[in-house]
Amino acid sequence: MDLLRESLGSSLGAVAIAAFIAAVVVAGVVRGRARFLSAGILTGASVVGLWISVHDAQPRLAVIELRRAAESHLDIARRAIHDGYNLDAASALDDAEARFRTINARDGLGRVELARGDLERLQGRLDQAKARFTAAAVRLNTVAHPDMAWAILRIGEMEQAAGDTDAARKSFADAAAAFARSGIASGEAEARLAFGALARRGGAYAEAVQNLKDAVRLFGRNARGQGRATLELAWISQALRHNAEGLALAAQADALFAQAGTLFGLVLTPFVGAEIAIEDEEGEVAFAAIDRAESVLDGFPDAVAAAAAYLGLASVGALRVRGGDAGANRAAFPAAQDEARALVAYARGQIDRGRVQADAVQ
C-alpha cells in the first residue's frame, strides 16, 4: 500500500485549487456583484464537480502507473535472463512483483512466477524451475491468461530433461492446444516441434510427421526452428528407408541452420547421411560425413555455448553470486547448461559410434 499512497499524494494539489476558487466565489458574494455571483456559483459548482472527478480518478491513475512500472521491471528482467544476468533479473523481478502485488494484479504475479522459472532454469536448478512453472500455470489459468501455454511448455521441457518422456509428451500436446486457442504461432511451433521429436524417438512416425510439418509451417521465418523440425523429419525418412528424401531434408536443414547462424546444427545434420551410408555399407561415405560433423564440433571455442544457442537457451557467462569471485560463481551453478551439455555428449557419442560402425562396413 505504500506504493499506492505515494501515487495518491498528487491529489492534494487538486484540493488546493478547489479551495482557492471557492474563496474567489465567496469574495464575489461579499462585494454584492450579482453578475459575478451568478457566474461564480456556476464556476464554483463546476470546479467542485471537476475536483470530485479528479479525486475519484486518482486511485485509477495510480493503479495505471503502478502497472506500467511493474511491466517495465518485468521486461527488464526478461532481457536480463536472456543475456544471462541472474542478479539483475532477480532484482527486477522483485520490483515487478512488489508493484503487481500492490494492485493485486494476478496476471502480473503469474507472469513474474513464469520468469522466475526461466531464471532458475538459467541457473541450472531444474527442479526449482519446474515448481515455478507449475505455480505460474496455476495462477495464469485462474485468469485465463494466454501465457499459461508458455508455462505448460516449460513444464514439458523440464519433464523431458528429467527423462519423464510420457509426462513431457502430454505437456507438449497440452501446450500446443493452448497456443492454438490463443493464436500464438511461435509457441505452438515450439510445442509441436518438441512433441514431434519425442514421438519420432518413440517410433510414432505418423504422429511425429504431422506435428513436425505443422511446426515448419508455424515457425514462419524462424530458420533455426524450421531447421530443427526439418532435421527431425530427415531422421524419420532415414528410419523408413526413404533415403533420397532423408538426404534432401538433411541438406535443407543444413541450409536453414547456416542461414540462421545456428552452427551447432551443422554438427547434427551429417549424422543422417552417415547413418544411411552405414546401412548401405558405404564406409567411406559414412566416414566423410562423420569427419564433417567432428570438424565443426572441434572448431567451436565453446561447444556447450553453441549447443545452448541451438536449443534457444541463454548464455551463462554472466551468472554471478553476490560478492563472489570467478571460482565461486562457477561453483554456485554446477548444473547450469546441463541441457546443452547433454546435446554435446550426444554429438560426441554419435561420432564415436559412427566411426566404429563405418569401420565395420568398410
348-354: average pLDDT: 98
The band of 216, judged by pLDDT with boundaries at 50, 70 and 90, is very high
Q: Is the pLDDT of residue 270 over 50?
A: yes
Tell which wins on pLDDT, 87 or 18: 87
65: CB partners within 8 A, 6+ apart: 7
Beta strands in the chain (DSSP E): none
Q: With both helix axes pointing from N to C terminus, report the angle between 185-201 and 165-182 in degrees, rounded to the nearest 10.
A: 150
The band of 21, judged by pLDDT with boundaries at 50, 70 and 90, is very low
* Residue 321 near residue 332, CB atoms below 8 Å: yes
- pLDDT attached to residue 12: 40
147-166: average pLDDT: 98
Listed as own residue / partner, the contacts of 305-310 with beta carbons closer than 8 Å and 24 or more positions apart are: 305/337, 305/340, 306/263, 306/264, 307/264, 307/340, 307/341, 307/343, 307/344, 307/347, 308/337, 308/339, 308/340, 309/262, 309/263, 309/264, 310/224, 310/228, 310/262, 310/264, 310/265, 310/268, 310/340, 310/343
Q: Cβ atoms within 10 A of the Cβ of 208, count? A: 24
* Residue 337 near residue 308, CB atoms below 8 Å: yes
Quote the longest CA-to-CA distance of the chain.
Answer: 116
Extract the C-alpha cell encoding 237: 525418412
**Rounded distance between C-alpha atoms, residue 312 and residue 260, angstroms:** 12
**pLDDT tens-digit readout, 287-326:** 999 999 999 999 999 999 999 999 999 989 889 998 877 7
